[in-house]
């Protein structure tokens, strides 16, 4: 996959929430509430599943690059084309503004 179709997304994870959802900006990161506890990798798995569903990607197209043991994380998302990448950036901007 071309690097031109990749998006690195800074995440501020909030495990143990009632439901999994984007919850606005937290500094320069997207705050994501996770309905999974921060034990045994459950919150990381929930974050990857949420990102894949939110952006219409297979789970294999979402990688956790940094922050497996912390609340600050970096995801890398691989999109099939420029249009999908552009739509994803627009969605992230919308969530950050909320």
CATH at residue 49: 3.30.1200.10
Tell me what the mean pLDDT of segment 32-48 comes to: 96
The 10s digit of each residue's pLDDT in 41-80 is 999 999 999 999 999 999 999 999 999 999 999 999 999 9
Confidence at residue 98, expressed as pLDDT on a 0 to 100 scale: 86
pLDDT for 1 equals 46
Assessment of whether the complete model's pTM goes beyond 0.75: yes
The rounded distance, in Å, linking the Cα atoms of 68 and 87 is: 27
Contact criterion met (CB below 8 Å) for 66 and 74: yes
Res. 3 pLDDT band, cuts 50 70 90: low
Q: What local confidence, expressed as pLDDT, does residue 2 receive?
A: 52
**% of the chain residues with pLDDT over 90:** 95
String of DSSP letters for 7-45: EEEEEEEEET-SS-EEEEEETTEEEEEESS-SSTTHHHH
Give me the number of domains the chain comprises. Answer: 1
Range of the domain at 42: 3-97
């Amino acid at each position: 996959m071309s690097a031109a179709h990749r998006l690195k997304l800074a995440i501020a994870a909030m495990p143990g929430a009632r439901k999994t959802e984007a919850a606005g900006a937290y500094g320069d990161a997207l705050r994501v509430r996770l309905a999974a506890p921060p034990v045994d990798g459950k919150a990381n798995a929930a974050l990857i599943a949420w990102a894949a569903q939110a952006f219409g990607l297979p789970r294999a197209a979402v990688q956790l690059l940094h922050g497996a043991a912390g609340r600050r994380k970096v995801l890398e998302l691989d999109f099939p084309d420029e249009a999908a990448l552009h739509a994803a950036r627009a969605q992230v901007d919308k969530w950050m503004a909320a």
